[in-house]
Amino acid sequence: MEGREGYGVPNFSWVLVIVLIVIMSMTDVCVSSPRRNLLANGLAKTPPMGWNSWNHFNCKIDENIIKETADALVSTGLAKLGYIYVNIDDCWAELVRDKEGNLVGKKSTFPSGIKALADYVHRKGLKLGIYSDAGYFTCSKQMPGSLGHEEKDAKSFASWGIDYLKYDNCNNDGSNPTVRYPVMTRSLMKAGRPIFFSLCEWGDMHPALWGAPVGNSWRTTNDISDTWESMVSRADMNEVYAELARPGGWNDPDMLEVGNGGMTKDEYIVHFSIWAISKAPLLIGCDVRNATKETMEIIANKEVIAVNQDSLGIQAKKVRMQGDLEIWAGQLSRYRVALLLVNRGPWRNSITAHWDDIGIPPSSVVQARDLWEHKTLKEQFVGNLTATVNSHGCKMYVLKPIS
């Protein structure tokens, strides 16, 4: 029977377990039964896929960009691959609420209003996401936050037809996120519309420890930037919490930078591969209206996406680290294993994955499917698999025991 136990991939060290338990006890969340079912929206059976405006556009957004992006997700075929969320980030609202205290779309950039935009996106078969903050102002300070207005804002989001809420952590009252975030959770649950709730708390109070009853995903890291060093450091921070991800709630190392120009093609392939095998949200952060063929080859790789969207929902872990050479592995459905070999070093090098490290019985004969070459290797493997990997490159496989 398939289960979440995996194929023997190593657990946290006992020291780390003790540290996490102490932190959890300090947050005072998830220890009482009423909070265990705080969030029950039935969403996020697999990690969310879509697009977010921030990494490429920052505050320079308007309703035409959002509409054109929705159009592009459909015309490029990305929507059919699962990229269905079109998420507006910061700077969409007026700085002042209306006389009833409601958030209002900025008239200069969203003149039709957010409901009309949601209707447009829905007609495309897509879902609209929006942004707010568990503070008095958002991170840009260009619009009000939702602190103290949670129920009103949740009702507005639901009435507009919003499907996803990214909830940031800036300019707050100094109270713990473990206090502020559940207020919005309860408000969303009362609003009468299933809304994916993304906790953008930057890993401040280790939300992986308390996020499951509060949100559908939780940031485990600070913001990513479009560099190799930033990307791999976010991957490292996120991997610590691998055993806490599962269907309904996912670790989030921040949005994808693929296509924004700061990394090489090989580095972007590593980026996308780690996010996929880590069951991270796959939220495109480039301008998909003008995506290059190279970018499309990466973000539209059906086989890599399938690893991310696997029904078992087990986040892979680094099972071996040999200097700059890393072996990531995680169980998939149908008794398969996802394997990722990453070379962080400056030179091309060979990497060997051993069955006893990745949880496959040592005597098993294994068939390997190369997900970036899109081919099943002719050789059958027993005991281990070795591949030569470029500097800042990777090899990604799905391994299937055949005996």
Active-site residue set: 168, 223
d(CA 200, CA 222): 9
* CA R_g for the chain: 21
d(CA 106, CA 109): 6
Q: Which residues contact 285 (CB under 8 A, 6 or more apart)?
A: 51, 52, 54, 55, 56, 255, 256, 257, 258, 259, 260
283 closest CA partner among 236, 216, 342, 369: 216
Residue 319 tokens read as 């099972």
Q: Which residues contact 133 (CB under 8 A, 6 or more apart)?
A: 139, 145, 146, 147, 167, 168, 169, 170, 171, 172
Helix (H, G, I), strand (E, B) or coil at 10: coil
Helix (H, G, I), strand (E, B) or coil at 284: strand
Judge contact between 181 and 215, C-beta under 8 A.
yes
d(CA 317, CA 63): 40
d(CA 195, CA 155): 11
Exposure of 20 in the CB half-sphere (CA atoms within 13 A): 16
Helix (H, G, I), strand (E, B) or coil at 127: strand
